[in-house]
Structure 1
């Protein structure tokens, strides 16, 4: 009786054409990913600039074909040519410099005053109970409504203009700072206290970093207010500045000069907003990594 020896052949996954776990082939880097990122970035830029390009085309075409009176709305090319002449003559830079000094001075003063005040009000309830009635009265008073008061008290000089800008910028920063401190997650505060953090370290390590995004929201709003209020302030008793340029051009029917001033203000506002966004990202990165 013959014995049959059974031989079992074990086929490994790699031999069967199935890659072994962890043994996948590494694809050498190619330029495909780089090209895809470039194309994606170009598509994003194109999408975001489409509306601006469409507005520029409409502004250029409509006055030329008679759909809009070119006396009151000159073509964009004429406005840009006049803007370039103002820049070459130095007038535009002179007015822009005066406006930036006023706007940035009031903006910086508002930040320096209201962020510490907002942190104190948001963190200490007795201080909040004391100041809240006064804040409610003034927060509902428009800054432009108080412009004659600032002019009467401080005169027509630079002091009144910087003061009204500071007043207008203070409220969004103050209110957002208070809100940022009060809306910190209570679980974070309880966890930090359970770890033995004192009030000062708790405020420094937990409350302040958590409130940074809300504070920067108020700062960005205040940046826009600093430009808007500045134009109104410069239309009263000013001898320089973009608001004065626009007002002077309107009275003398220099329409291209007026639109050149408006475009300059829009460009400054856009630039300030982008700088604040970049600064916010920097502080947000610090907040998440600390």
Structure 2
């Protein structure tokens, strides 16, 4: 809380300091308590997952317990197959995501700042936005072949729209008072765009980028299930077809881990670049 805590005109800060000195272990244990609180739900889920097939409530032919899945992951690692599949998936997803971020941010900034351009392009983009990336996959294969380019294209298509729409929304929501104040002080359009509009729209842009990170993993699975010979999506589908159920769940679990790591990295990048933005927390 703030350093100037008061109760009926009497400062409570000395009492709080004395409390912290008397119980210093509470400060040390606070990060671990938060970590335990966040991991409790995950722990309960893993225990339930382990017990259901072990107890016979659900057949292990349909649901492999986490211990078997982890053993399958270890076996894939020993055979040098795990990193091969992860590397192939990361390469496809990152290429598609980076292209989507570049194109979505650039076009979104232009459409948000130039109203005539938005009026011109919005009907066409709305039409394409309603078309699923999975429905267009045969078109991508027809034009780009069955190789890596078509897989990157479907990931790009799925990731492009949240970045574009969030960027347009962020630019439009910039406070006009900020722009008018900069103009009144003689700022040029370039200065206003890079020093006022872009920083103010950045939180919305990063929201779209994090959504695109989730969408690119979803599209990755579909892209790798057709015409691929490596990748976590291919591993999952191939294991299901050969009835290697623990390996199938291993592929699903690794996809979830890759998605979580990607979201964490994007969130870390957002905090680094937007240090000036401090959100409100009830714990403060």
TM-score (norm 1): 0.87
Q: Cα RMSD between the aligned structures?
A: 2.0
Q: Specify the alignment match of 1:241 in structure 2.
A: 231
Q: Specify the alignment match of 2:8 in structure 1.
A: none
Query: How far, CA to CA, are the matches of 1:64 and 1:276 in structure 2?
Result: 38
Asked if 1 retains the 8 angstrom alpha-carbon contact of 2:174 and 2:200, the reply is: yes
Equivalent of residue 92 in structure 1, options 67, 79, 82: 82
C-alpha deviation, 1:31, in angstroms: 5.7
Q: Specify the alignment match of 1:215 in structure 2.
A: 205
Does residue 146 (structure 1) correspond to residue 136 (structure 2)? The answer is yes
Q: Specify the alignment match of 1:10 in structure 2.
A: none
Runs of 4+ in 1 over 3 A off after TM superposition: 27-34
C-alpha deviation, 1:155, in angstroms: 1.0
The higher radius of gyration belongs to: 1
Query: How far, CA to CA, are the matches of 2:267 and 2:200 in structure 1?
Result: 17
Asked if 1 retains the 8 angstrom alpha-carbon contact of 2:84 and 2:231, the reply is: yes
C-alpha deviation, 1:282, in angstroms: 1.2
SS of structure 1 residue aligned to 2:200: helix
Q: Specify the alignment match of 1:83 in structure 2.
A: 73
Q: For 1:8-47, what aligned pairs fall within 5 Å after superposition?
A: 35-47=25-37
Q: Specify the alignment match of 2:186 in structure 1.
A: 196
C-alpha deviation, 1:30, in angstroms: 7.2
Q: Specify the alignment match of 1:224 in structure 2.
A: 214
Asked if 1 retains the 8 angstrom alpha-carbon contact of 2:220 and 2:233, the reply is: yes
Query: Per-residue CA shift, 1:86-125, capped at 9, x if unaligned?
Result: 1111111111111110000111111121211110110011
Query: How far, CA to CA, are the matches of 2:66 and 2:143 in structure 1?
Result: 42
Equivalent of residue 267 in structure 1, options 242, 247, 257: 257
Asked if 2 retains the 8 angstrom alpha-carbon contact of 1:173 and 1:215, the reply is: yes
Asked if 1 retains the 8 angstrom alpha-carbon contact of 2:155 and 2:220, the reply is: yes
Asked if 1 retains the 8 angstrom alpha-carbon contact of 2:158 and 2:215, the reply is: yes
TM-score (norm 2): 0.89
Query: Per-residue CA shift, 1:57-114, capped at 9, x if unaligned?
Result: 0111111111111111122111111111111111111111111100001111111212
